[in-house]
């Protein structure tokens, strides 16, 4: 088994994780992640949190190898559920089991490291001994050749998306979490990228969040 969700519930209320707490934790641990004006950020989020909106209600599923697709309109909680699976957010109730499998995530925003070029971004998740030919193969499959030395701000939106996917694949995960991975890609390229992902993840589980229809046969489906 790769993934088991049992009665997952989540609402954003007064008890929800506030971004500020994470920010404070990061500030303590690393001088590189200082975020100014924390207090202002917290206050504005707090009023949002007080709305006490129930989001995920008793979501249960179990999934083995293949593709688990999570669909639903904007704001239904797809990203929230993905973050719960990744262990970034805690559910209010319920259990998540990922059976100690290795997880990689492509966030809805690319989250490339701005001061690293594309190659450095991809290598960032690899051990030092990762063979160059594997990196080159990944870059060429993603059609990112000749842009390895460019920084994120020098890449197009679609290139950043592919670089973020390449970075996640480079870590050779058992479970790959993808939040709207095809945003910014035209349909031909999107099909190609999905085929590459399916090939690389043929022995693992891909959790694919999408609000638009994706031409793919998913073994498991959660509709929010
Ligand atoms: N940290 C947070 N604090 C309070 N509310 C939040 C937080 N994160 C998300 N929400 C709220 O939860 C709801 C679901 O958000 P989420 O990002 O999970 O939706 P989504 O289905 O991924 O939407 P989209 O398709 O637009 O990406 C939204 O109403 C959002 O405002
Ligand atoms: Mg989302």
Q: Is the CB of 72 under 6 A from ligand 1?
A: yes
Residue corresponding to tokens 């993603």: 142
Query: Alpha-carbon distance 167 to 124, whole Å?
Result: 8
Quote the Cα angle for 7-8-12, to 5°: 140
Closest residue CA from atom 2 of ligand 1: 12
Write out pLDDT tens, residues 205-219.
999 998 766 667 899
pLDDT the model gives residue 213: 66
Higher pLDDT, 48 or 157: 157
Distance, CA of 12 to CA of 101 (rounded, Å):
28
Give 57: exposed, middle or buried? Use CB within 10 Å, 0-12, 13-18, 19+.
middle
- Residue 140 and residue 117 in contact, taking contact as beta carbons nearer than 8 Å: no
Using the predicted structure, report yes or no on whether residue 42 has a pLDDT greater than 50.
no
Ligand closest to Cα of 55 equals: 1
Instruction: Answer whether 27's CB lies under 8 Å from 33's CB.
Output: yes
Q: In DSSP terms, which residues pair with 59 in a beta bridge? A: 8
**Res 24 pLDDT > 90:** no
pLDDT attached to residue 145: 93
Give the pLDDT confidence of 25-41 residue by residue, as tens digits: 444 444 443 333 333 33
Task: Report how far ligand 2's centroid is from the alpha carbon of 210 (Å).
Answer: 8
Instruction: Report the run of H or E that residue 199 belongs to, with start and end.
Output: helix 187-200
User: Which residue has its alpha carbon closest to ligand 1 atom 26?
Assistant: 74
Distance 73 CA to ligand 2 centre (A): 9
Give me ligand 1 centre to Cα 203, in Å: 31
Residues 6+ apart with CB under 8 A from 50: 13, 14
Pairing of strands 93-97, 3-12: antiparallel
Given the structure tokens 């641990």, which residue do they identify?
Answer: 29
Q: What is the pLDDT of residue 31?
A: 40
> What single DSSP character describes residue 206?
E
| For ligand 1, atom 27: residue with the closest CA | 74
113-160 pLDDT, tens digit per residue, is 999 999 999 999 887 777 888 899 999 999 999 999 999 999 999 999
Q: Using CA atoms of 196, 197, 201, 205 in order, give the dihedral in degrees to the nearest 10.
A: -160
pTM here?
0.83
**Ligand 1 neighbourhood includes 183 CB (under 6 angstroms):** no
Are 7 and 84 within 8 A, CB to CB?
Answer: no
* Residues 61-111 pLDDT 10s: 999 999 999 999 999 999 999 999 999 999 999 999 999 999 999 999 999
Judged against a pLDDT cut of 50, whether residue 19 lies above it is answered with no
- Degrees (nearest 5) of the Cα angle 107, 110, 113? 120
């Amino acid at each position: 088994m790769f993934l088991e969700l049992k009665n997952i519930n989540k609402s954003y209320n007064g008890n929800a994780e506030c971004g500020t707490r994470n920010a404070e934790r990061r500030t303590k641990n690393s001088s590189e992640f200082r975020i100014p004006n924390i207090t202002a950020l917290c206050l504005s989020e707090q009023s949002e949190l007080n709305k006490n909106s129930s989001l995920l209600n008793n979501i249960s599923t179990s999934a083995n190898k293949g593709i688990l697709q999570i669909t639903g309109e904007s704001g239904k909680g797809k990203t929230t559920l993905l973050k719960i699976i990744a262990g970034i957010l805690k559910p209010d109730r319920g259990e998540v089991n990922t059976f100690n499998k290795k997880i990689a995530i492509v966030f809805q925003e690319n989250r490339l490291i701005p001061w690293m070029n594309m190659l450095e971004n991809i290598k960032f998740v690899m051990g030092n001994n990762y063979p160059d030919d594997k990196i080159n193969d990944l870059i060429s499959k993603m059609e990112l050749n000749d842009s390895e030395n460019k920084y994120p701000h020098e890449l197009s939106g679609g290139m950043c998306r592919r670089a973020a996917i390449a970075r996640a694949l480079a870590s050779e995960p058992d479970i790959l979490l993808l939040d709207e991975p095809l945003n910014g890609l035209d349909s031909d390229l999107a099909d190609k990228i999905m085929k590459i992902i399916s090939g690389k993840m043929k022995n693992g589980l891909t959790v694919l969040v999408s609000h638009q229809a994706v031409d793919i046969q998913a073994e498991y489906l959660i509709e929010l």
